[in-house]
């Protein structure tokens, strides 16, 4: 079982990810709608894995990824985006992302990505 922080500015997407993970016995320990809140909650909650949307209203997901990895260099952060361009995927991985999910995604793919980090 993993402890997960879900970061997405769309509430419905946070619910979809939460439902997929909790249905497989994982615990969503927190949610955030922007990068600043994600960094604060990461430091406080110490989750095993973070799922983070790249496009956030108040800050770019890459900025949140970099700040989380500054707190914990080994942090497992799975980036998510509706834009599946090769360059974006490569940038996410070069920035320290553990995996990349392209929206829309199947619930099983989210679970597989998280479980691969454990």
Average pLDDT over residues 6-16: 94
User: Can you give the three-state secondary structure of the chain, one letter per residue?
Assistant: CCEEEEECCCHHHHHHHHHHHHCCCCEEEEEECCHHHHHHHHHHHCCCEEEEECCCCCCCHHHHHHHHHHHCCCCEEEEEECCCCHHHHHHHHHCCCCEEEECCCCHHHHHHHHHHCC
Residue 84 has what pLDDT? 65
Architecture in CATH of 3-116? 3-Layer(aba) Sandwich (3.40)
Q: Are strands 76-81 and 99-102 parallel, antiparallel or unpaired?
A: parallel
Q: At what angle do helices 61-71 and 86-94 cross, to 10 degrees?
A: 20
Contact 53, 9 (CB under 8 A): yes
Prediction pTM value: 0.92
pLDDT of residue 91: 82
């Amino acid at each position: 079982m993993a402890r997960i922080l879900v970061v997405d500015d769309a509430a419905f997407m946070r619910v979809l990810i939460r439902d997929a993970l909790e249905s497989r016995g994982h615990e969503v320990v927190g949610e955030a709608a922007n990068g600043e809140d994600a960094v604060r909650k990461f430091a406080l909650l110490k989750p095993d894995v973070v799922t983070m949307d790249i496009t956030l209203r108040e800050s770019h997901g890459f900025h949140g990824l970099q700040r989380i990895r500054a707190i914990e260099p080994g942090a497992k952060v799975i980036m998510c985006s509706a834009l599946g361009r090769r360059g974006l995927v490569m940038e996410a991985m070069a920035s320290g992302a553990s995996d990349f999910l392209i929206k829309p995604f199947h619930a099983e793919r989210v679970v597989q990505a998280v479980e691969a980090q454990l």
